[in-house]
Structures are given as C-alpha cells and as structure tokens.
Amino acid sequence: MVTQTTKFLGLKTPLAYEWMKIGGKNFHNGLNFAYGGTDVFDTTGGLLPNMSTQIDFLEKLMHQSLYTKSDLQSSVVLVCLAGNDYAAYVISQGTDKGLQNYIPPVINQLAVNLKRIHGLGASKIVVTALQPLGCLPRMTRTSFQQCNATEKLRPLDYLHTHFTIKYLFTI
C-alpha cells in the first residue's frame, strides 16, 4: 500500500523500518512501519507487530532523537487497516453476528492508535477505507464465487467505514 501510494503521489518510497539496520539513518523520505498481515489487535501470536507495536517503534526513534516531532509535523502518516482483525475473528469465532459486534472494538482500538499518532506530533493522517471483505482473494478463492456474489459481507464493510468516518470527524 505504501509503495503504490507514494508512486501515485510522485514521492520516493520511504525506507522500511525493519531495514534501518541495513539502510542506516537515511530516512529523509520518511519511514514505513507497516507489516503486511498485521492488525490493531495481536492476532498473529506475536509473529508480526500489531499497529500499537508499530507505533512503539516510532516512539522509540523519537526518544532516541532519530525522529522528531517536527519531522512528524511535516509528514503525511498513512494508516491502513485492511481487515486482518476481521479475518482472524472469523477463523477463531466464526459467526456473522459476532463479527458485526466485533467491529466497534476494532474501530475503538484504531481510534486509540490514531490519537496516539496525533499526540506524537502528526497533523496530517490519512486513513484508508476498508476494501470489500467479500472481494478479498481468501474469500473468493475458497467459495469459488465472484466478488459480487459475496454480498452477505457488504453490510460489515459499510459498518466499519461508517464507524471509522464517524470517529474521524470527532478529532
């Protein structure tokens, strides 16, 4: 997501945080703290850092004065929540009704994370919308259906987006 977004905007792709040991302190184009397959909650059993841990990485750099509040104030922070929390819930719990009730806690944690990023100094924060869950390859691949044949998940997509937008207008 970061690479596509920066290319679209005509910017250079920021250095991935995990490559700092190799790339040194050359992050004048920014830093990418994202890890594919992560989410707001720890659903990978610690294999990958969740969003809060990724923010911890940024905070650590700020405490080390390698990244400053001024750097964040002049940055655009891209926050992506792609739905892995929901996929993990479906795998472990499995009910549509339960999934609908799981959306508010996910959005609440996203809100906590956004407040934290803002509190560190970021004033320009972009939050992506959730893609249609029924169109994810994991859904169409296992059901052998076309994307438009997975309508039962569409209300969940809308609910997630509604809560996200509602929160964003409060900050």
Going from N- to C-terminal start, the domains of the chain cover 2-168
Q: What is the per-residue pLDDT across 90-129, written as a single tens digit (0 to 9) for each?
A: 778 777 678 888 889 999 999 999 999 999 999 999 888 8
Q: What is the three-class DSSP state of 32?
A: strand
Residue 35: is its pLDDT beyond 80?
A: yes
**9 vs 62: CA distance, rounded Å:** 26
Q: What is the per-residue pLDDT across 127-156, written as a single tens digit (0 to 9) for each?
A: 888 877 767 666 666 666 666 555 556 677
Residue 45: is its pLDDT beyond 90?
A: no
**pTM reported for the whole predicted model:** 0.83
